[in-house]
Amino acid sequence: MNFQVIFIIYVICELFELFYIQKGETFSAYMANLLMIYKRGIVHFLCMHPSFYAAIFTAIYFDNFSFLIVGLIILKALDIILKLILLDKIIKAKPLGIFAQMLERDIPLNFPLKSALTLFYAVVFYINFTV
């Protein structure tokens, strides 16, 4: 399998996450969507992040563990861990700290803001394997 095919698969995985997981016009709507996915089960929640697994697969497949790909995998892992911590606190009704202010103010999350991170991940992924 060549890199172009894997890159297209990775971009499709990122777009899936953008349009399915990151639904919501505001931070509270986004967290409500994540909570709905989380309540279906932790395995279901983890399966909803295919780009994380695609990045790991690609690093192993090409035997490329450079700073960029390891950084990308760590960022994606931290993103998943942060979501899990927030959702666990919401379910157990624990204080959310600074995120409570974001939920109270109902901060808007517009499409360019959400897609910027998707674009960033795709560019880092591409640069890592083409340079």
Average pLDDT over the chain, rounded to whole?
A: 92
pLDDT of residue 37: 95
Tokens coding 122? 């795709």
Closest CA to 48 of 34, 27, 28, 29: 34
Domain count of the chain?
1
Q: Which domain covers residue 30, as residue numbers?
A: 3-130
Q: What's the predicted TM-score (pTM) here?
A: 0.90
> What integer is the mean pLDDT of 36-49?
95
Please give the pLDDT value at position 115.
Answer: 92
Looking at per-residue pLDDT, the higher value among 107 and 46 belongs to 46
Cα–Cα nearest to 51, from 63, 43, 59? 59
